[in-house]
Chains A and B, each alone.
Chain A
Amino acid sequence: KNQVEQSPQSLIILEGKNCTLQCNYTVSPFSNLRWYKQDTGRGPVSLTIMTFSENTKSNGRYTATLDADTKQSSLHITASQLSDSASYICVVSRTGNQFYFGTGTSLTVIP
């Protein structure tokens, strides 16, 4: 069964601290993995897209890693800011443009 699981479900961190969000998947055949940030009441915005051959990709303070062998990905946020408070969604696509979504990690950054 094609599934995407994210952990933790929610996370609270102090402003300025780093954090890492996890994504495990069983989607096959794998095409690519994306991380999205979704602010409350808005549509998701793409942070990174990684294909099978990429194991690290950065977008500013966001760094995503991918281990295609273990089918795991992580999103590392450095020096968190209050504006990082959002839901982070991991999306894995199969060949043929079929998408599978995790239920997201809700991140709250407090001053």
Chain B
Amino acid sequence: KAGVTQTPRYLIKTRGQQVTLSCSPISGHRSVSWYQQTPGQGLQFLFEYFSETQRNKGNFPGRFSGRQFSNSRSEMNVSTLELGDSALYLCASSGGQEGGEQYFGPGTRLTVT
């Protein structure tokens, strides 16, 4: 069974630009969660999508948005990039049930200059 894949793996953008990251979950998984990881803050929850609907949301500004497609693939978009958005962005997929195992992808390393 293929694992969670994320593209691209590395990205360099300039302040003010926007970026779209992609996540393909494990086949059959309907839930995709996105996280931001920085050295100082650790892992922080962005949002979770289940069956194309946002089910949970963390405390991030509206510049961070996401969506999920009918095949469960998910995209995350960050608009008007700031230097502080430089981070490792991880997505995790699960079956979506309470307490279910989450499987993480390798992450996308975003650098904003």
The prevalent SS among residues of A at the interface is strand
Chain A contacts of B106 at CB under 8 A? Answer: 41-43
Closest to B4 in A: A43
A62 in the interface, Cβ–Cβ < 8 Å?
no
If over half of B's interface residues share one DSSP class (helix, strand or loop), that class is named, otherwise mixed; here it is strand
Does the CB pair A103–B42 fall under 8 Å? yes
- Size class of the B contact interface (CB-based, 8 Å): 20 to 34
Which of B41, B42, B101 is in CB contact (< 8 Å) with A89? B42
Size of the A side of the interface (Cβ < 8 Å), in residues, is 25
Interface string of A60-104 (1 = CB under 8 A from B): 000000000000000000000000000001010101111111111
Q: Does A13 contact B (CB under 8 A)?
A: no
Across-interface contacts of B4 in A (CB, < 8 A): 43
Instruction: Give residues in B with beta carbon < 8 Å to A.
Output: 4, 31, 33, 35, 41-45, 48, 55-56, 90, 92, 96, 98-99, 101-107
25 A-B pairs in the complex with CB atoms less than 8 angstroms apart: A41-B106, A43-B4, A43-B105, A43-B107, A44-B43, A44-B104, A45-B104, A46-B102, A46-B103, A49-B99, A89-B43, A91-B43, A95-B98, A96-B56, A97-B48, A97-B56, A97-B98, A98-B45, A100-B45, A101-B35, A101-B42, A102-B42, A103-B41, A104-B42, A104-B43
